[in-house]
């Protein structure tokens, strides 16, 4: 194999990474490509492909979405609101049942309903919050649930 054939083989191997090469090597490849029809065509195709890939692609539908977890954060927000609404509904039903059916002097039945209905709900929701959220929302709801279980029957 003579020197021209060796340079030809090396140029064919190095043309795909032309932009990453040193300027001296790029000069050798460019010189060889001007003399060799096959390498010249390969260099033109390679430069055309890289130039085409470097152009910014138009974004369909407007602005690009920079938050890849947008749906996940939206889902977490919806779940948090659902858990809050479930707590309020259970407390509202317990309060309504106690006010409409029982005497205001005794709060024993209210305490029993809190333990029977609200406590399991709070345990389930806080377990889900701890497993999936693990942020300050869990600690806030845990403290609020403890305060509800301790002081809700004394509010009336």
Residues 110 and 83 in one domain: yes
Q: What is the pLDDT of residue 56?
A: 47
Q: Which residue has the tokens 């096959």?
A: 38
Residues 91 and 39 in one domain: no
Q: Residues 17-64: pLDDT tens digits?
A: 888 788 888 888 888 888 888 888 888 887 775 454 554 455 455 555
Evaluate whether 114 touches 97 at the Cβ level (below 8 Å): no
Q: What is the pLDDT of residue 131?
A: 86
How many domains, in total, are found in the chain? 2
Neighbour count for residue 143 (Cβ, 10 Å): 10
Output phi, psi for 135, to 5 deg. -130, -170
Residues 32 and 92 in one domain: no
Percent of the chain at pLDDT > 90 equals: 10
Whether 105 is in a domain gets the answer yes
pTM (two decimals): 0.51
Q: What is the pLDDT of residue 67?
A: 62
From CA 25, how far away is CA 29, in angstroms rounded? 6
Predicted confidence (pLDDT) at residue 102 exceeds the cutoff of 80: no
Q: What is the pLDDT of residue 42?
A: 85
**Domain of 144, in residue numbers:** 70-154
Tokens, residue 55: 């152009």
Q: What is the pLDDT of residue 49?
A: 56
CA-CA distances (angstroms) from residue 123 to 88, 115, 128, 131, 148? Answer: 15, 11, 9, 12, 13
End-to-end CA distance of the chain: 100
Residues 86 and 43 in one domain: no
From CA 106, how far away is CA 156, in angstroms rounded? 10
Tokens, residue 59: 């974004």
Residues 78 and 144 in one domain: yes
Residues 79 and 47 in one domain: no
Whether 46 is in a domain gets the answer yes
Whether 126 is in a domain gets the answer yes
From CA 49, how far away is CA 101, in angstroms rounded? 79
Residues 77 and 32 in one domain: no
Assign 3-class secondary structure to 42-93.
Answer: HHHHHHHHHHHHHCCCCCCCCCCCCCCCHHHHHHHHHHHHHHHHHHHHHHHH
Evaluate whether 115 touches 90 at the Cβ level (below 8 Å): no
């Amino acid at each position: 194999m003579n020197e021209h054939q060796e340079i030809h083989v090396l140029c064919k191997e190095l043309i795909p990474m032309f932009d990453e090469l040193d300027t001296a090597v790029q000069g050798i490849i460019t010189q060889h490509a001007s003399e060799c029809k096959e390498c010249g065509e390969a260099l033109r195709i390679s430069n055309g492909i890289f130039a085409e890939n470097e152009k910014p692609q138009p974004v369909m539908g407007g602005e690009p979405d920079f938050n890849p977890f947008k749906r996940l954060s939206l889902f977490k927000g919806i779940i948090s609101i659902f858990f809050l609404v479930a707590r309020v509904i259970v407390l509202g039903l317990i309060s309504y049942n106690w006010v409409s059916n029982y005497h205001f002097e005794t709060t024993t039945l209210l305490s029993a309903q809190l333990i029977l209905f609200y406590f399991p709900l709070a345990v389930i929701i806080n377990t889900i919050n701890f497993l999936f959220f693990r942020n300050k929302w869990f600690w806030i709801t845990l403290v609020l649930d403890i305060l509800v279980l301790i002081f809700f029957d004394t509010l009336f």
